[in-house]
A = this chain, B = another copy of it.
Amino acid sequence: MVGGGKDAFIGSIHRIAANMDGLVEVVAGALSINPEIAKESGKAIFLDPERTYLTYEEMLEKESKLPAEKRIEFVTIVTPNFAHFAPAMAALDKGFHVVIEKPITFTLDEAKQLKKKVEETGLILCLTHTYSGYPMVRQARAMMRDGVFGKIRKVVVEYPQGWLSKLSEREGNAQAVWRTDPKKSGKAGAMGDIGTHAAHLAEFITGLKITHLCADLNALVPGRMLDDDGNVLLKFDNGAAGVLIASQVAAGEENALRIRVYGEHGGLEWAQMEPNSLIVKWLDKPTQILRAGTNGFLHGEAIFNARTPGGHPEGYLEAFANLYRNFAIALSSRIDGTPAPPHVNFPTVDDGIRGMAFIDSVVKSGQSKEKWTPFEI
């Protein structure tokens, strides 16, 4: 693991997710650029002090020299955005598979270089677009793929949070500090942090691609350096219309990612804060509530990504763990030389490239006086 020292939110999430199914064990880490924190953090998660490294370069160097049965099999990168690219390239160069946080890199160009490296090495890269790991998101995707709603006409995806409603970056909130700093976060704030999740979810579920967007990006908290709120009109490649709303100043909201998709015959609605329900609406039939873990009518990929029977709620950590689980199964198959079982699926470097292109396009549109800006890769 690169990054994820104590007090890092996402690092501990990754460890829980990796632990959950007993398929992955965290055995080595370069957990912080601060040596003291790196060591303390390693101790806190019971790492062997020998494998508690002070830099990712050291880790990759030393681990690659361990005997195959002992050395790490893949590297997880959970540093702030600006520090994704270098360790990812280095890990691939040393022959390690990679799990990496989104947005995949700092710039679109880096993402493209990373893709090239992945292709050259033939290694596996998993991008942790967490929300694609929920069983009912997989169910939604499967229903869309089956075409049960007819042609898709409209997509509304929204991601309101409220945690940046104050200028917290000036009050020592470590999360706020790097996420609102263009040098660490990149050219977008809310759009990079959560807008990319929303855009990915919309494309993941519908199977459509965004072709144009029209963005109104704002820094609504005085003094903020990056957008903390944005509303974006979308066009999709099949002609569907869309709206993407992302805000980190929707005071009082927690993490209210929600998507609604409408086709000719009906539509669906999924909300991350009640993730085990998928609401399916029909033009001429009663609304249905499909529930994770229930029997007899869910698609295989929804079943594959659930651990508990209906009514035993799974949540964010299980969705995250599903990405690790899908990745680990793919990795095992690779190692065993067998084909991956059906339903194994996780976001890859291609999703990462689309995420970076989304950031580029949405920022460009936000600065434009033209209504429509093409989504360009």
Known contacts A262-B247, A371-B368; A283/B21 CB under 8 A: no
| Cα distance A253–B263 in the bound complex, in angstroms | 11
Contact (Cβ within 8 A) A267 B250: yes
Contact (Cβ within 8 A) A263 B288: no
Residue of B nearest to A44 (CB): B22
Contact (Cβ within 8 A) A165 B20: no
- This chain: copies in complex: 4
Contact (Cβ within 8 A) B312 A314: no
CB of A12 within 8 A of chain B?
A: yes
Contact (Cβ within 8 A) A149 B251: yes
Among the interface residues A166, A220, A370, which one has the most CB atoms of the partner chain B within 10 A? A220
A314-330 interface with B by 8 A CB criterion: 314-318
Contact (Cβ within 8 A) A288 B291: no
Known contacts A252-B266, A267-B252; A283/B165 CB under 8 A: yes
Contact (Cβ within 8 A) A251 B229: no
Known contacts A12-B307, A214-B371; A317/B318 CB under 8 A: yes
CB of A299 within 8 A of chain B?
A: no
Contact (Cβ within 8 A) B274 A250: no
Contact (Cβ within 8 A) A254 B311: yes
A219-234: contact bitstring with B at CB < 8 Å (1 yes, 0 no)? Answer: 0100000000101010
Contact (Cβ within 8 A) B307 A16: yes
Contact (Cβ within 8 A) A314 B316: yes
A325-377 interface with B by 8 A CB criterion: 368-372
Query: Cβ of A161: which chain B residues have Cβ within 8 Å of it?
Result: 311
Contact (Cβ within 8 A) A286 B297: yes
Contact (Cβ within 8 A) A253 B281: yes
**A134 smallest CB distance to B (angstroms):** 10
A-B contact pairs, 13 of them (CB 8 A): A214-B371, A216-B241, A216-B371, A231-B233, A251-B262, A252-B280, A253-B311, A254-B311, A273-B313, A287-B288, A288-B289, A289-B289, A317-B318
